[in-house]
Structure 1
Amino acid sequence: MRVRADILRTYQGVHTWTGIIAGLVLFIGFYAGSLTMFKHELADWSKPVSAPVFTPESHNYQALIDQAIAHYSAQMSHGFSVDLLTDKAPLSWYSQGTARGMKLDNQLQTLYLNAQNELVIQQQSEHKLADLIDYLHRTAGFAGEIGHDQSGVYILGLAAILYFLALVSGVIILLPTLVKTFFALRKEKGASRFWLDSHNLVGIVSLPFHFIIAFTVVIFAFHDLIYGGLTQFYGDEPLFQRGTPAAQSYHIDKLPSLEKQLLAAKNYAPGYEPIHISFSRLNSAMPSAVLKMSNNAAVVRGPDTDYLFLNPYTLEIVNSSYPQGEDSQWGNFVASLFSLHFGTYGGEWGRWGYFVMGLFGAFLFYSGNLLWLDKRFKKAPNKRSTRFMAHLTIGICLGSMLGVAATLLLAKWSNLYIENANYSYLYSYYLVFFAFVAYTFYKGTQPASFWGLIGLVMLCSSMGLSTLIHAVLTEDYFKYYSSIAVDISAAVLAIIFYLSAKKVKDRSTYYSVITTS
């Protein structure tokens, strides 16, 4: 296929500058995003071993709820949750903070029945490691808020728009040579050609995935503005179904049994199993119960499960993430967008696929910046702006990965000694990240590349070693066998980082053309 040279030059400029502007922010979003596919496994991996309160077979949820209401009616009327899978205390509510937002000082009151059927209540800090990984994915680490959302969400939304333009322009650039060079990885033509072929191959193979992510990120970032614009065409009819308040307030003493709540959910969604239920506003005219519904053999439209919203007193289904038919077209559309972005609709294979594609996406932005720098250095090797961008690329990309790896390792040990380790996670990430960026500007890209990769090798290797030490200290080998996938993945990444560091040291890769500052 022939495309005019002037058109190719135009789209090459669009592809280059949109990629450069958005690339570093999106690198963090993709790298952290790949980890969010297993964020709960990572959080469980970091938690210290603790003896189960009782086995799931011995749970008497209704007796627990009844005793808790009898003793703590005022607190529970604001809201409480029941986890139907845990072997720890299944009932909890927030004594400080809420489920929304990223408050690191949230406190939970947890309750369970002991062997004598007596109510036991304990206070503990909410473990936020999984939420912090997701926060990094959604905001790329940008602090602050705009309105009711984080500023980083809007920054990533703008970056996703540029990202979409980069994808379209990249396809147009490749059209004339797509068939001939699609699977070509020409090592014999030098490092730059190999990087370019790798960049093009990853970009084209994962193109549908990248279009999905770019589109859904824009939707997530600007959904409020989009909904506001749609109301101008949609009229007075609400975009989403909303429940109507009851004529009078309900009271928690009249709350139907948990068994009835779960039965109503199962009847609405046959084949799905409720695994968690959260109640709120129980002493009001608009009470709510939100159930997480699990089905490993079905398409899931949430991050981990589907969701079902019902009135806990009338047991009427108010809303859900399931397809709602023609009466809720906008709800179905939004649920589908969530499903495409979260990647949980494909089961375990889907999660691993999104994990790998997320890492490939990070590679795409990293390699794109290296290719741009390669051209710039050949034209003007001592240009200050080019050196600044080189330092920024190495500092931000490797710094973000070092920050995450260091935080995961810290979490493994800090949970043993610190009651609320959430702040240590936050400080650890930003301290390592900014320290490495500063080190890159001070020492130059070549030593920073090498020692940054060596640091990743050491941190990833230490994750498996930490697991082994914990297993020996606690004599609970089964617990750590259950998290073996995290340690194996870390070991594989350590090998990849080691091979990359070796190539940097041998000056046989791209960055051998960049001299130290």
Structure 2
Amino acid sequence: MKVRADILRIYQSLHTWTGITAGLLLFIGFYAGSLTMFKAELQQWIAPPAVAIPQVQQTALPSADWQVLLDKALATYPTELAKGFDIDLTSRSPVLSWYSQGSARDLHMDNKIIALRLDQQGAIAVSENYENKFADLIDYLHRSAGIGGEIGHDQAGVYLLGIAAVAYFLALVSGIVVLLPTLLKSFFALRKDKGASRFWLDSHNLVGVASLPFHFIIAWTVVGFAFHDLIYDGLSVFYGEQPVFQRPAANSQTYDLENLPALEQHLAAASQYSPSHKPVKLSFMRLNNTAPVAIIQMINPDGMVRGPEADYLFMQPYTLDILPFSFSTQDGASYSKFVMGLFALHYGTFAGDFGRWGYFVMGLLGAFLFYSGNLLWLHKRMKKQGGPSRSCTLMAALTIGVCLGSMLAVALTMLLGKLLLPVLDNANYAYLYCYYISFFACICYSFWRGAALAAWHGLLGLSYCCAALPLATLYLQWYRADWYSTAATAAVDLMALLFAAVFFYAARRCKKRMLNSESSSVWSLQPEKLQCSTSDI
């Protein structure tokens, strides 16, 4: 297909500058987003579950032991439970919990949770601990790229990533236009014999085109998630005084905890609503209010779910009526199914574990796409100017500092967080300080010593940190015999060893590039090659 040269130049410029301006933010979002595909496993790895208190004798009914615990808790803590509590049906023994400080919303560092269990004599055992928020920190990086501050009721970084997603969409479209004349000829070509730059360009194009549907999905959904409030506010122009969403009628009746139906009835109502789903967690709220609600998390391994891990069923806990905003399995619920589809497409929860692994790999490849795009821009700019200008040197240092710095900061946070867990009551602040200090230290080091040395040292640091993660697991099991590993935590350690090998190989290649780079490159270590010219753009 032929495209006019002037049109190609316009789209090439659009592709370059939209990618450069948004690429570093999106790198953090994609890298952290790939990790959130295994958010539960990472949380279990860094804060291993303790060996549970031996539970009372199991009965034929799965919810029976939880009901025994609930009945005793209602008799002992009626005031606390009336405000709200959670029941996790996936735990090894019955456990009922609620927040004694903080709430489940937002990234609070000082949340405290009271957990009730049954001991061997069937009496209630009480424990109170700070909620570990490591996995939520990774999710925070994914949603906001780690940018603090708030605009309205959401993080400022969410809106910035929404703007970056618009630029990201333009970069995708313009990149396809630029590739159209040679798409069929060079799509699967990886020409290593024509130099490193050509190989990076072929890899960049192959990854971008092969995963194009995935990238379009992410771009559209990020824009929707970031600006949904503005979209709904804009709809008020068409709806006028009519509400956009139909809300349930106000209720003046109050309820009493003594009339709360048994867990068996809640689970039966949930299963009747969707037989293909399995309830895994129940959250009760406002039980002594006029608007009580039970939120039931339900999984469907063979089907699509709306959230990152589960669908959400909203139920009136006393009448067992299904409330609005529940996931829909009914015919004709077009809007609900459309929104459910958007969530599923973004979270990759439409194909079970296969979908999670697929999104994990494509998320990492997406991060590679932005990183390689910056490297290609640097090479082209240096070639055009005959040497490394100030803009090239600064952009190279920023690219290495942000990309490798964000990955190294996460690895260091995992390592330090797990080692400090036994000696800290609240490790959440340690996570925050470790991540941000490591991240900005990597950026400063990159500007101080140059991109070449920072890239080599950063990759070596990543390799050593990843290799140390399984050792931290062994140390923790020796230090605390009552903590145990699971298949999920063992998988995290195995993946850490794999990444350690990959980063070590990349570090060796990086060192070879440093020693053999031409003088017109920011990747050389020779003193005369580190000096910038005064020309800039």
TM-score for the superposition, normalised by structure 1: 0.96
**Alignment-derived partner of residue 152 in structure 1:** 157
Whether 1:41 and 2:41 are equivalent positions in the alignment is yes
Whether 1:140 and 2:176 are equivalent positions in the alignment is no
- C-alpha distance in 1 between matches for 2:266 and 2:108: 30
- C-alpha distance in 1 between matches for 2:153 and 2:97: 26
Kindly provide the amino acid, as one letter, of the partner of residue 97 in structure 1. Answer: G
CA contact 1:310–1:318 (8 Å) conserved in 2: yes
Q: 1:81 to 1:476 in 2, by over 3 A?
A: closer
Q: 1:249 aligns with which of 254, 264, 273?
A: 254
Kindly provide the amino acid, as one letter, of the partner of residue 41 in structure 2. Answer: E
Whether 1:489 and 2:507 are equivalent positions in the alignment is no
CA shift for structure 1 position 435: 0.5
CA shift for structure 1 position 342: 0.6
Q: What SS does the corresponding residue of 1:60 show, helix, strand or coil?
A: helix
Q: What SS does the corresponding residue of 1:94 show, helix, strand or coil?
A: strand
- 1:62-73 aligned at under 5 Å gives the runs 62-73=67-78
**Alignment-derived partner of residue 441 in structure 1:** 447
CA shift for structure 1 position 246: 2.0
CA contact 1:273–1:293 (8 Å) conserved in 2: yes
**Alignment-derived partner of residue 208 in structure 2:** 203
**Alignment-derived partner of residue 459 in structure 1:** 465
- C-alpha distance in 2 between matches for 1:31 and 1:136: 9
Q: Quick check: 93-102 or 331-340, which moved more?
A: 331-340
Partner deviation per Cα, 1:457-483 (whole Å, 9 max, x = no partner): 000101122223334555689725552
Partner deviation per Cα, 1:417-445 (whole Å, 9 max, x = no partner): 11110110111100100011000110001
Q: What SS does the corresponding residue of 1:256 show, helix, strand or coil?
A: coil
- 1:179-258 aligned at under 5 Å gives the runs 179-234=184-239, 236-258=241-263
CA shift for structure 1 position 287: 0.6
- C-alpha distance in 2 between matches for 1:265 and 1:483: 31
**Alignment-derived partner of residue 432 in structure 1:** 438
Kindly provide the amino acid, as one letter, of the partner of residue 243 in structure 1. Answer: P
- C-alpha distance in 2 between matches for 1:26 and 1:417: 35
**Alignment-derived partner of residue 396 in structure 1:** 402
Q: What SS does the corresponding residue of 1:232 show, helix, strand or coil?
A: helix
**Alignment-derived partner of residue 61 in structure 2:** none
CA contact 2:328–2:337 (8 Å) conserved in 1: yes
Whether 1:32 and 2:38 are equivalent positions in the alignment is no
**Alignment-derived partner of residue 378 in structure 1:** 383
**Alignment-derived partner of residue 283 in structure 1:** 288
CA contact 1:291–1:309 (8 Å) conserved in 2: yes
**Alignment-derived partner of residue 172 in structure 1:** 177
CA shift for structure 1 position 243: 2.4
CA contact 1:282–1:288 (8 Å) conserved in 2: yes
**Alignment-derived partner of residue 360 in structure 1:** 365
CA contact 1:206–1:357 (8 Å) conserved in 2: yes
Q: What SS does the corresponding residue of 2:302 show, helix, strand or coil?
A: coil
Q: Quick check: 477-486 or 45-54, which moved more?
A: 477-486
Q: 1:508 to 1:190 in 2, by over 3 A?
A: farther
Kindly provide the amino acid, as one letter, of the partner of residue 66 in structure 1. Answer: D
CA contact 1:82–1:276 (8 Å) conserved in 2: yes
Q: What SS does the corresponding residue of 1:247 show, helix, strand or coil?
A: coil
Note the aligned Cα RMSD (angstroms): 1.9
CA contact 1:411–1:421 (8 Å) conserved in 2: yes
Kindly provide the amino acid, as one letter, of the partner of residue 314 in structure 2. Answer: F
CA contact 1:446–1:511 (8 Å) conserved in 2: no
**Alignment-derived partner of residue 95 in structure 2:** 90
Q: Quick check: 281-290 or 465-474, which moved more?
A: 465-474
Q: 1:500 aligns with which of 487, 506, 513?
A: 506
CA contact 1:108–1:126 (8 Å) conserved in 2: yes
- C-alpha distance in 1 between matches for 2:56 and 2:476: 25
Kindly provide the amino acid, as one letter, of the partner of residue 9 in structure 1. Answer: R
Q: Quick check: 434-443 or 466-475, which moved more?
A: 466-475
CA contact 2:190–2:203 (8 Å) conserved in 1: yes
Kindly provide the amino acid, as one letter, of the partner of residue 429 in structure 1. Answer: Y
CA contact 2:29–2:141 (8 Å) conserved in 1: yes
Q: 1:79 aligns with which of 63, 79, 84?
A: 84
**Alignment-derived partner of residue 393 in structure 2:** 387
Q: Among the aligned pairs, what percent are the same residue?
A: 54
Q: What SS does the corresponding residue of 1:291 show, helix, strand or coil?
A: strand
Q: What SS does the corresponding residue of 1:345 show, helix, strand or coil?
A: coil
- C-alpha distance in 1 between matches for 2:80 and 2:69: 15
Whether 1:338 and 2:367 are equivalent positions in the alignment is no
Kindly provide the amino acid, as one letter, of the partner of residue 20 in structure 1. Answer: I
CA contact 1:403–1:428 (8 Å) conserved in 2: yes
Q: 1:471 to 1:117 in 2, by over 3 A?
A: closer
Kindly provide the amino acid, as one letter, of the partner of residue 345 in structure 2. Answer: L
Q: Quick check: 84-93 or 430-439, which moved more?
A: 84-93
Kindly provide the amino acid, as one letter, of the partner of residue 291 in structure 2. Answer: M
TM-score for the superposition, normalised by structure 2: 0.92
- C-alpha distance in 1 between matches for 2:400 and 2:457: 11
Q: 1:88 to 1:386 in 2, by over 3 A?
A: farther
CA shift for structure 1 position 84: 0.6
**Alignment-derived partner of residue 127 in structure 1:** 132
- C-alpha distance in 2 between matches for 1:390 and 1:227: 41
CA shift for structure 1 position 87: 2.2
CA shift for structure 1 position 223: 0.3
CA contact 2:15–2:174 (8 Å) conserved in 1: yes
Q: What SS does the corresponding residue of 1:274 show, helix, strand or coil?
A: strand
**Alignment-derived partner of residue 8 in structure 2:** 8
Gaps of 5+ in 2: 59-63, 531-537
- C-alpha distance in 2 between matches for 1:96 and 1:247: 29
CA contact 1:374–1:510 (8 Å) conserved in 2: no
CA shift for structure 1 position 8: 0.3
- C-alpha distance in 2 between matches for 1:461 and 1:322: 45
